[in-house]
Amino acid sequence: MAIERLKSARSDADRAEDDAKVRQVVEATLRAIETRGDAAVRELSERFDGYAPESFRLSPGEIDALMGEVSDRDMADIRFAQAQVRGFAQAQRDSLRDIEVEPLPGVILGHRTIPVQSVGCYVPGGKFPMVASAHMSVATASVAGVPRIVAATPPWQGKPNPAVVAAMHLGGAHEIYVLGGIQAVGAMALGTETIDPVHMLVGPGNAYVAEAKRQLYGRVGIDLFAGPTETMVIADDTVDAEMCATDLLGQAEHGYNSPAVLVTNSRKLAEGTLAEIDRLLAILPTADTAGASWRDYGEVILCDTHDEMLAVANDIASEHVQVMTDRDDWYLDHMHSYGALFLGPRTNVANGDKVIGTNHTLPTKKAGRYTGGLWVGKFLKTHSYQKITTDAAAAEIGAYCSRLCMLEGFVGHAEQANVRVRRYGGRNVGYGAAALPAGEAAD
């Protein structure tokens, strides 16, 4: 049986047209922030969020007051989630080691792992206050040892969201700004009169935030292109339609353009899931957003075999991949392009989003083909070093280097090696000539 699409999403051409519109808006907005600084940021915040305080940066007193509004239960839950995220991030950090080796006597090579010196963490929150995104970016940067962590989140219902601010503060943010969207990531990356620029931007966001990060990449580092949420369910007849529909809509509610895809080899499950989605959309409080995503970006792909399902999944390279089959570990062994895997019916994407400990900032738009998600290593740079401790090693390596430089025609490079062969090896090498091996006479 050929692969059959029981439901298709908007075409790639339509999506490309949307992307082009977003790109133009972002380009103009970043230009305004770069040229007009704080004034542009304030205008944008007033226009899009209706928010223009005296200072966008929260003072220690304001942070304390907002944290006081968070209930004891909510605070305990935030602390629990951060403990899971920190614990896994620390385990990842512990797996990274500085090294130093001596491949030849007197030749020392090594690398050191050094934190990025300043990071801007964007925490979405205009439609839904994304408390968990603070754990994923701020707390993980803290585990990495980043010395300056800047966090920004949009106002929620006209004011700072207490739970998000609490999560940022507990996560280790040194500066907290109540700013959203392009103006937030633009201000953190480009700097303004009152905000010093950072070296790196991290965190998820809508299409405008993701595009802003793309355009700013190069001037600053970024974690990855983490745009609108994507989810895929790979399922066979070991699970039912309610489970599949719930997992698809659970991620589709993020926004109006969140792709949700079912890949299955069961026609009964495919058709049942389509019907169950209709039923759930009639009772889901967030049906306005989830329904729009499902209408325009939902897909149901019917395959004949697990091999076909695997090929489809790797080609789509979805951000979240929920696997519920009779061979979940087989998919773990053979999947190569995705953001994160959620294996078996007992777990789900929401666990990863909120509490289980793995990071929820993950690659979208097929970026899973070449990168994984945000993790402690994204905040760390690996820098190499070398030193030579003996005259004999300086002369031996220098002679090889001299000849290899001359092979490429780099005389100046060769002289860097030659001067050391002369000084530390006591050998007479003509200027601009290749150093011969020790004991070998020139023709």
- CA 417/CA 408 separation, integer angstroms: 14
Catalytic residues: 319-320
- The identity of residue 342, as a single letter, is F
Is 257 strand, coil or helix?
coil
- CA 320/CA 230 separation, integer angstroms: 6
| Residue 32 and residue 187 in contact, taking contact as beta carbons nearer than 8 Å | no
Extended strands (E) in 164-285: 175-178, 200-202, 221-222, 231-235, 260-264
- The count of other CB atoms within 10 Å of the CB of residue 185 is 32
DSSP secondary structure of 390-441: SHHHHHHHHHHHHHHHHHHT-HHHHHHHHHHHHHHH-----TTSPPPPTTPP
Alpha-carbon radius of gyration of the chain? 27
Structure tokens at 335: 């999947």
| Residue 130 and residue 163 in contact, taking contact as beta carbons nearer than 8 Å | no
Q: DSSP letter for 217, please.
A: B
Left (φ > 0), alpha (ψ -120 to 50) or beta: where does 366 sit? left
The dihedral formed by the CA atoms of 379, 380, 381 and 386, expressed in degrees to the nearest 10: 170
